[in-house]
Amino acid sequence: MQKPLSLAEFRKQRPPLRDVNQEIINHMSRHDRFAVWITERVGTMGFFLIIFIWTVLWLGWNLLAPKELQFDPPMGFVFWLFISNLIQILLMPLIMVGQNIQGRHAETRAESDLEVNVKAEKEIEVILHHLEYQSAMLIAMLEKLGVKMLKNKE
């Protein structure tokens, strides 16, 4: 009967676990961090409320204020449309870049999770082999001592 590999020996052989989140953060450029930061903030209710309040105030002022105080004539709202389109044009590709970075991060985390699961499976296998070895040794000892064992009826 061959003695199985001990858990301590197994742990010496395996590479240490990686902190993929830290690795990704360390490899991100300033531009990547900015894109992720924008992506995380634009997709919130806070950003929606800011845009909503800005729009209500802008349109309300230009509809209800005296004519001489209106800076963006009603029904055209050309300046408001220009700023809104500019925000959309700038945010759209920036959000897509941020989502791509977040997607790569998610894929790397998934690969790391798989790696951890495979390592855990190997450790469990070592433990099971060790338990089988112990069971065989106990059975051999009991047989040598002449102790009769009850057989399980399966």
Digit-coded pLDDT (tens) for 30-75: 999 999 999 999 989 999 999 999 999 999 999 999 999 999 988 8
Residue 151 in any domain: the answer is no
Mean pLDDT of the 113-131 span: 89
Mean pLDDT of the 123-129 span: 88
Averaged confidence pLDDT in the chain: 87
Q: Is 42 exposed, middle or buried (0-12, 13-18, 19+ CB in 10 A)?
A: middle
Of residues 16 and 106, more confidently modeled: 106
Residue 32 in any domain: the answer is yes
Q: What does the CA dihedral 91, 96, 102, 103 come to, rounded to 10 degrees?
A: 170
Residue 150 in any domain: the answer is no
pLDDT, position 3? 66
- Number of separate domains in the chain: 1
Residue 96 in any domain: the answer is yes
Residue 85 in any domain: the answer is yes
Domain that holds residue 111: 7-145
Q: What does the CA dihedral 35, 38, 42, 43 come to, rounded to 10 degrees?
A: 60
Mean pLDDT of the 108-131 span: 89
Q: Amino acid letter at 133?
A: Y
Residue 154 in any domain: the answer is no
Residue 152 in any domain: the answer is no
Q: Amino acid letter at 19?
A: D
Residue 1 in any domain: the answer is no
